[in-house]
Amino acid sequence: MEQPNKVYRYQKFSELSINALCHDQLYFSDPKAFNDPLDCQPHVESDSHINELRLVLEKQIELRVEAETISSLTSAKVTGESAILHAKATAKQIAQNELTRIAYYTTDPDYKDDPVEVECRLLTYGIQNELLKQYDRGICCFASSGDNPLLWSHYGDQHRGLCAGYSLNRKPKPNMHRVLYGSNRIIHTSAIVKAILQKNVEYQKILDQDVLLRKALPWKYEEEWRLLGKRGIQSSVLELKDITFGLRCPAAVRHMVIAAFKDRDRGIDFYEIYQIRGSFDLKKRIIDAEDLRGFPRIAMSGIEMFGPIPTGE
């Protein structure tokens, strides 16, 4: 997929946002915290034989538990072949325990359906849960433009915040992912079988796309791109090129941000949003430093400014 030349990140002016900008960092969010509760929340539907469902769930659990166990052992400075063998044995046992538990629940008299249908439902639900655990990733979201009125309202603190513009001109060049809009949240188990059991690369790409990059059609106005990575604050893999201030951003905030970056080795440009007379369009222009020359101000009394009041004598 063709990569954009530049992306934009709208944000409110806050201690966290300024700290991240000054340290050239990006925050990778947990998708559960997104304003769209359906984002990164796929719905798995079964179109596979029960034996395939068992194999998929078993493999998912084994891969997850093995990775978690090795990570824990490494943290405890336990490494080597014995650690790997222990992790594999632990993962296999936990996977078998889960399959046994599901098979046992199919005998519950409260289930009125055929036991095979019940087991298929429980296996499918387990596969969905494991799929969400598999994609335990952080996501950093960007827009394609820096003058979108809706994005300024929704993410730029109702036009009081700022928008950071980033270039992809880094080595190595970061891999941005375009969000896809429309379709639905359904992922069929046959696709998961091909991706996980058959290790089909193309189906793995489709799976990644449907879990991490698909949103409902009404969100299309965002024209969103995403970086995927470890959750939390991370060093930026993008190059900060400019900062644009919203239509309502106070002049004092503009002064503070510009002052914070005046000694940066790689200079950046500063813009401000302005409205087109008689139009709903917003445009941006280079900030005139002369407009901010009065900051920081010193509060003075009339006497301090003009001297003592004449007594008339």
pLDDT of residue 112: 76
Nearest to 125 by CA among 143, 106, 153: 106
Q: What is the mean pLDDT of residues 161-173?
A: 95
Q: How confident is the model at residue 312 (pLDDT cuts 50, 70, 90)?
A: low
Condensed to tens digits (0 to 9), the pLDDT of residues 256-285 reads 899 888 888 888 999 999 999 888 889 999
Residues paired with residue 141 on neighbouring β-strands, in sequence order: 226
Taking 70 as the threshold, does the pLDDT of residue 145 lie above it?
yes
Lowest mean pLDDT among 104-113, 196-205, 266-275: 104-113
pLDDT of residue 313: 59
Q: In a 3-state reduction of DSSP, which class is residue 119?
A: helix
When computed from its CA atoms, the radius of gyration of the chain, rounded to whole angstroms, is: 27
In angstroms, the CA 29 to CA 137 distance is 8
pLDDT of residue 5: 92
Torsion of CA 273, 275, 279, 282, to 10 degrees: 0
Nearest to 217 by CA among 190, 179, 186, 189: 179
Q: What integer best gives the mean pLDDT of the chain?
A: 91
279-164-11 Cα angle (round to 5): 80
Strands (E), 29-127: 43-45
pLDDT of residue 264: 86
Q: In a 3-state reduction of DSSP, which class is residue 149?
A: helix
Cβ atoms of residues 251 and 234 within 8 Å? no
pLDDT of residue 10: 97
Q: What is the mean pLDDT of residues 243-268?
A: 90
Using the structure block, give the residue that is written with the tokens 């002064």. Answer: 255
Tell me the HSE value of 5 on the side-chain side, using a 13 A CA sphere.
0
pLDDT of residue 113: 80
Token digits for 272? Answer: 């401000």
Condensed to tens digits (0 to 9), the pLDDT of residues 36-59 reads 999 999 999 999 999 999 999 999
